[in-house]
Structure 1
Amino acid sequence: MAITQTDTPLKIAIVGSGYMGGGIAQVLALAGHQVVLADVSAEVAEKSRQRLLSESDAFVADELFEAGSTKIIDEHLTAAESIEAAVADADFIEEAVPEKLELKREILARVSAAARPEAIIASNTSTISIGAMADAVDRPERFIGVHFSNPSPFIPGVEVIPHDGTAEDTIGKAEQVVQSTGKETARIKDVTGFVLNRLQYTLFEEATRLVDEGVATVEDIDTIVRTTFGFRLPFFGPFAIADMAGLDVYAFCYDSLHAGFPDRFETPKLLADLVEAGKLGTKSGAGFLNVPSDATPELVAYRNKAYVKMQKLLDELGPAPLSY
């Protein structure tokens, strides 16, 4: 992980110092922010701080963090006596307690009561609607979802989720905090599961259904996912992949799926409308994306180069230490 320290360091409190909260704290400390960890007690927070320093040493040894990272984290990360002490003068507060609505509401109320009125308060919830927690926060216009993914030091994407009452200024500042760490943000509407987990759990549900139906084993399904469409996903999202495959091809495939599983598959209207308009993806110069036809060779060259490099990386790493 490269070290890129921000020019405008903030005082940041992380409430919940477990695996997710701790990893977020590492990322923000490495970016140069002054980060305070809080948990159920000062002892737990300090124990987590020491664990994060030890983890950083291991990451440096494995060349996952740059040399000098542990020193930066040590200088920028402290443990608080209490949640209230941690948030008292913070500019930005990230709640990262377990995924239980009532617990989050209880902690957010404590945070809100002790924080400065202008402090931004964020939740790292994976699936709980931000609006379902907003009324636990005094001045809910400063409340927002900021969802890092596991393991947070190494996953570059972060969902930023405003609820209906979140102020535009709050959204912008939350995005700036995340982007100061070198991560990418995506602004998501407040629905249960957001984008990441609605997609992830949909895939998982279909995978388990295939096992239940005896179509393939767990191992074979994992093999197919990681060696086919999963191989593309580090470089392209589903809409770019569809455009390159051809949206007319996708429509034909939906016809087949609908014939086989009429209750579960139907051509999406968004896709059908594009095909009807003759927008078939890169082959026609327009689709979900707007890649001009004369730019298609460059895109295809990038795609092919990316896939070859990915295979070389996988060959270099060797197979994951899994056992089915």
Structure 2
Amino acid sequence: MISRVAVVGSGYMGGGIAQVIALSGRDVVIADVSAEVTEANRERLRKEAHDFEERRLFPPGAAEAVRERITAAASIEEAVAEVDLVEEAVPEIVEIKHDTLRRIAAAARPETLIGSNTSTISIAVLAEALPDARRFLGIHFSNPATFIPGVEVIPHAGTDPDAVRQVVELLDDCGKTGVTITDVTGFVLNRLQYALFSEAARLVEEGVASAESVDRIARTTFGFRLPFFGPFAIADIAGLDVYDFCYRSLGAEYPERFAAPDILTERVAEGALGVKSGRGFLATSPERTAELVAYRDRAYAAMTALLAEIGPAPVDY
């Protein structure tokens, strides 16, 4: 069981991770490039937690929990010496991460789990720095770590499965959703995020729409669905035959960008068309259509009300 954690790299991401773990009732030790930087970041985290609690973004007692449970170490070695898990959150540069991971591995107990918050670097590449990589895996929080629920959990080929289990359980205790995926460069989150941005940028480059218009359409159409349904659920609801037709239309105009994925055309050929056929990428039956539509309508109405309550984002175009 993971009961005591160190976070190496106490900046914005690392600090947020430390707060999340502290609020789960665990002690957290933070460390950074110097004792002075670490202490300054601990003070920032205390003030931030107090502000979040006053704004009701953190629950009552959160500021006190952060104050009591997050301590500052004088060095990386001191921070990791007596913990069950170390989360590395230093800059996204392989050499810096390798050097930091070597220091962590040399100073931590042999059984201590080591995670990296890398957002794109293959975990196998980072594992090269460790003499025993069985206890190493990716634990990728999203920005801001305090409020985004999903966390990518990324074992490499040599990671001990029990390490994955312990980390997923920890994340569950922290109120996070740990999702285990295969180790590839960029993982899932950033491959999806950057694929979307690439097409958005092309639309602006081609003069199809302004950046403001693209953002507005993304937020108010397909993006409006994403808090409730992922891309495969959305496709199943729409109908995979509809998706196949749209891919053929797009592919005729943009063949280098919109070839239908084999996994889609194979399902359509088999008659697996989504909810209407009872099987697609998921297995939602037609009998649940009324329930699904009722949930969708309730969810979208609630999102509309929330957006009206909090108002537009303070973004200038």
Pairwise same-fold verdict (TM > 0.5) = yes
**Contact (CA 8 Å) 2:2, 2:84: kept in 1 or not?**
no
Amino acid at match of 1:307: Y
Distance 2:170 2:277 in 1: 40
Distance 2:264 2:2 in 1: 44
Distance 1:300 1:152 in 2: 32
**Contact (CA 8 Å) 1:9, 1:32: kept in 2 or not?**
no
**Contact (CA 8 Å) 2:2, 2:166: kept in 1 or not?**
no
Question: Structure 2 stretches of 5 or more lacking a match?
Answer: none
Matched residue, 1:18: 11
Distance 1:306 1:228 in 2: 14
Answering whether residue 50 of structure 2 is matched by residue 57 of structure 1, we say yes
Matched residue, 2:40: 47
Answering whether residue 101 of structure 2 is matched by residue 78 of structure 1, we say no
Distance apart, 1:119 and its partner CA:
0.2
Matched residue, 2:111: 118
Answering whether residue 160 of structure 2 is matched by residue 147 of structure 1, we say no
Match of 2:96 among 95, 103, 117: 103
Question: Structure 1 stretches of 5 or more lacking a match?
Answer: 1-7
Give the TM-score taking structure 1 as reference length.
0.97
Match of 1:188 among 181, 193, 209: 181
Per-residue Cα deviation, 1:189-238 (whole angstroms, up to 9, x for no partner):
11000000000011011111111110100000000000000000000100
Amino acid at match of 1:162: P
**Contact (CA 8 Å) 2:2, 2:85: kept in 1 or not?**
no
Match of 2:311 among 302, 318, 323: 318
Match of 2:80 among 81, 87, 98: 87
Answering whether residue 203 of structure 2 is matched by residue 225 of structure 1, we say no
Match of 1:248 among 241, 247, 250: 241
Distance apart, 1:49 and its partner CA:
0.6
**Contact (CA 8 Å) 1:29, 1:73: kept in 2 or not?**
yes
Distance apart, 1:9 and its partner CA:
6.1
Per-residue Cα deviation, 1:60-86 (whole angstroms, up to 9, x for no partner):
121100121000111111000100000
Give the TM-score taking structure 2 as reference length.
0.99
**Contact (CA 8 Å) 1:9, 1:34: kept in 2 or not?**
no
Amino acid at match of 2:49: S
Distance 1:292 1:265 in 2: 29
Matched residue, 1:287: 280
Distance 2:206 2:13 in 1: 35
Secondary structure of the equivalent of 1:216?
coil
* 116-125 vs 52-61, which moves further: 52-61
Secondary structure of the equivalent of 1:283?
helix
Answering whether residue 230 of structure 2 is matched by residue 237 of structure 1, we say yes
Matched residue, 1:178: 171
RMSD of aligned alpha carbons: 0.8
Runs of 4+ in structure 1 off by over 2 angstroms are none
Per-residue Cα deviation, 1:136-169 (whole angstroms, up to 9, x for no partner):
1121000000000000010000000001111111
**Contact (CA 8 Å) 2:2, 2:170: kept in 1 or not?**
no
Distance 2:69 2:126 in 1: 30
Distance 1:74 1:125 in 2: 27
Matched residue, 1:197: 190
Matched residue, 1:28: 21
Q: How many residues align?
A: 317
Per-residue Cα deviation, 1:234-289 (whole angstroms, up to 9, x for no partner):
00100000000011000000010000101111111111111111111111111111
Distance 2:131 2:138 in 1: 15
Distance apart, 1:171 and its partner CA:
1.1
Distance apart, 1:188 and its partner CA:
1.0
Distance 1:139 1:36 in 2: 23
Distance 1:288 1:9 in 2: 35
Per-residue Cα deviation, 1:292-322 (whole angstroms, up to 9, x for no partner):
1111110111011100100000000111111
Amino acid at match of 1:89: E
